[in-house]
Amino acid sequence: MKRKLVIINTIGIVLIVGYLAYLAFGAFRSGYPWSLVCYNCKQCNASCILGMDPQGFIESAYANDADIYMYATNIRMTLQKAYDIDPGMTLKAGNDTITAREALESRGIPPEAEIITYRMRARDAAKICLDCGACDKSCPIKLPVSSIIRHLKQHDSFGSE
């Protein structure tokens, strides 16, 4: 019985270490290995005047994936613009959370209607970001979050996606 527990614990530890190594590899591939040290305190979120969660940019960097959806909860635009940016963008429609595609095709909301975003891809949020630097200034461990945002604005992805 003891031997079985040792084997199960060993397998669990190997899986956890493997997953952490996978995350570290992604962070190094994206060019932002420091993204691993963010401890998700949400200080940057509280400082963003657009209602974005800048920690989503950090998550995108350590996953080496610019298509990760992040919270962007206060951006207003027309439904057609949201659909053109990303049909999978999540919007608030009354008490519902729906995609731009659902709003346009299933709900019959007119394309010129103003909507409020809820979640969008990091690559799209970077293009909307004002680059005011509030996320950098509010970070208690001084991570340069805006460097990820500027990179995504310029390149639309990370180097080895």
Residue where the block lists tokens 């809820």: 118
- Residues 133-143 have pLDDT tens digits of 999 999 999 99
For residue 39, what pLDDT is reported?
86
For residue 1, what pLDDT is reported?
76
> Within the chain, which residues score under 70 in pLDDT?
159-161
| Domain spans in the chain, listed from the N-terminal domain onward | 2-76+120-155
For residue 18, what pLDDT is reported?
93
C-alpha dihedral sign at 132, 31, 158, 119? negative
For residue 150, what pLDDT is reported?
94
